[in-house]
Chain A
Amino acid sequence: MSHLRSDLRTRAEELVALYPEKRSALIPLCHLAQEQDGWLTPEATSEIAELCGVTAAEVQGTATFYDMLHTEPVGTYAVAVCTNIACLLGGALELLEHAEATLGIRAGGTTPDGVFTLHEAECLADCDKTPCVQVNHRYVGAQTPASFDALVDDLRAGRLSETIPNHGTLVRVRRTVGLLADRDAVKAERAAVSQEQAARAATAAAADGGK
């Protein structure tokens, strides 16, 4: 019995097929599991292991290395406040302090109602709009304490659910095709070109030698 919903299970199998080795799909599948559950459950971990041909411990070993993969539940909205150098210069420490007060939690914590998790983030690569904030990895632009509070209100009221899906949904655009270039055909194509290249190189070398 699959833990992943049938549509997600199908997508998972499609993802695995994109790689020469199944294990490469491990991180994409972790994202997929988070799309369903919001975090990486033990059941999902086992299923990913089976799909990738590794053990559940190996999936966990990989997942625990990465900031975006969560082996514990996360709020519906994961709010990340960057405090790295460019944002620091733009007042990020003050914003983070304000965010902690507004949400009533410290960075790393989740509100009791499970709506918000607050993260102090490393650079999010949007450094001309500081301090930079992401909600579920969507940029929401430079924030002031006042705009942050408005943002929290909007999120709580569900006014941003169109643009910011619940935590775990990373990419809403599906790949429309699988691999179109058959691996064996590509191999043959490359071998033929390689022979042509060798022939051209030999001709050029002969011409050079004749000079």
Chain B
Amino acid sequence: MALTDAPKIVTARLGYEDSFTLERYLATGGYTGLRKALTMTPEAVAAEVDAASLLGRGGAGFPAGRKWSMLRKNPLTYLVINGDESEPATFKDHMLIEGDPHQILEGVLISAYALQVSQAFIYLRGEFALGLERLQTALNEAYAHGAVGSNIFDSGFSLDIVVHPGAGAYICGEETALLESLEGKRGFPRIKPPFFPAAIGLYGEPTVVNNVETMANIPWIVNNGGAAFAALGAGRSTGTRLFALAGHVRNPGNYELEMVKTTFRDLIYAPVLGGGIRGSNTLKAFIPGGVSAPWFGPDQVDLPLGQDEVGNAGSMLGSGSVVVMDSATCMVRAAWRITKFFSRESCGQCTPCREGSGWLERIMYRIENGDGREEDLDLLMDLCDNISPGVVWPPQQTTICVLGPSIPSSIASGIRMFRDEFLVHVKEGGCPFD
């Protein structure tokens, strides 16, 4: 079977120039999933999503159906969509929001019906100016179409949706920080437990927080059945998923691929996908799931694109972003820049993350710029160990949220895989790639 034979579940409309309009949406089966769902009982809709075994597409990969089932019974409940896509090199939600906003709205409406929530909020990253305009336009159209608001499609079901802009903070992608932000506060992740907002969420009420891509899958699942979705992929990784391919490949971009049936090799090298490494260089390393994930080397390129497959190999599929680094890449510089990112984006609540990320960044900077010492390598690993004891994967946590234990991934990968390259920086007093 060809790599691209699997159905396009979330990207079907993106080929159309007017993919973001209500007219195109309706002409291509739009809102039929919602109409169908409204004829079913809410619990039957939820059962389809559960049967699909849809894993959340935000990064943690928690089963959406199970998350839904945890929503505490309460007179007031909320659905909040996480569209704060900020994990470096992840750009799939950005594409879905700009390219097919109605699909997200339909997913939200179906989910809100299944969960019987009181109101839904879509928290979009503030930097997505065009995305915010497209989504607001789509929401206005959907209201006028009768798909949102009071007595939707004469079903007796009423719901309001609010598009809410963020204001620039990576940490707000963490669901409890996002809720704080939505309450008008600094984006400080909340202390766990409770581990899920399904118990105590927005304004203290039970809340489901789902990712944009997760929502985009819901209309298809309702139209085609959870079993059809679960028939795609393998094991725990069902359906298709968007992979954001970036870095030194000929064709960077978002690719919707059937999970597990495709490998990193396919994604990076297939002519219809990544098209191979740019120029005459070769693959040096790749990051399989966002910069929070430990790196892989060329010997791991045949791993399938599956949640457990990547997890068992010592990293994570995370946000679905794959960063390819070729043989001309300085690994010290790459790890330094990622560490600088975490240092800038640490919310500052927990000492290991706030202080540790800054120390790590400064040591990495001095190595890259020729002022490093050989003992810095041990010092770096010791600091990593203080942030995440053992520097193992999955990581140990000393902080309120998972930003902390994500910090050591790139430095530990760099030192473990490319120790010699770090030492050359120290011995030569500078970057050999300059």
Contact = CB atoms under 8 A, between A and B. Distances in A.
Interface string B124-148: 0111111011001101100110001
Contacts of B76: 20, 187
B418 to A, nearest CB: 15
Given A128-B252, A128-B253, A122 B170 contact: yes
A64 to B, nearest CB: 8
**What 7 A-B pairs have minimum CB-CB distances, sorted nearest first?**
A26-B184, A67-B168, A180-B149, A66-B167, A181-B158, A68-B168, A128-B252
B248 interface: yes
Contact of B167 (A27, A52, A80): A27
B88 A84 contact: yes
A26 B159 CA distance: 23
Interface string A146-166: 000000000000000000000
Interface residues of A, number: 66
Given A128-B253, A171-B133, A189 B337 contact: no
A170 interface: yes
A171 B165 contact: yes
Nearest to B119: A20
B162 interface: yes
A202 interface: no
Interface string A70-92: 00000000001001111011000
A81 to B, nearest CB: 13
Given A18-B160, A20-B76, 6 more contacts: A21-B203, A27-B165, A84-B291, A85-B246, A181-B160, A187-B75
B181 A189 contact: no
Interface in B1-46: 41-43
B184 A52 contact: yes
A85 B246 CA distance: 9
Interface residues of B, number: 79
Contact of B91 (A127, A172, A175, A180): A127
Contacts, number: 211
B127 A134 contact: yes
Interface in A119-162: 122-128, 130, 134, 136-139
B116 A30 contact: no
B67 interface: no
A122 B88 contact: yes
B338 A136 contact: no
Nearest to B345: A122
A88 B140 contact: no
B127 A68 contact: yes
Interface stretch (A4-12, A97-105, A106-114, A190-198): A190-198
Contacts of B185: 23, 26, 62
B410 to A, nearest CB: 9
B162 A19 contact: yes
Contacts of B43: 197, 200
A24 B165 CA distance: 11
Nearest to B348: A65
B187 interface: yes
Interface in A33-85: 52, 54, 61-63, 65-69, 80, 83-85
Given A62-B185, A69-B167, A138-B129, A125 B85 contact: yes
Contacts of B127: 68, 80, 124-125, 134, 137
Interface string B109-122: 00000001011000
Contact of A176 (B143, B168, B169, B246): B143
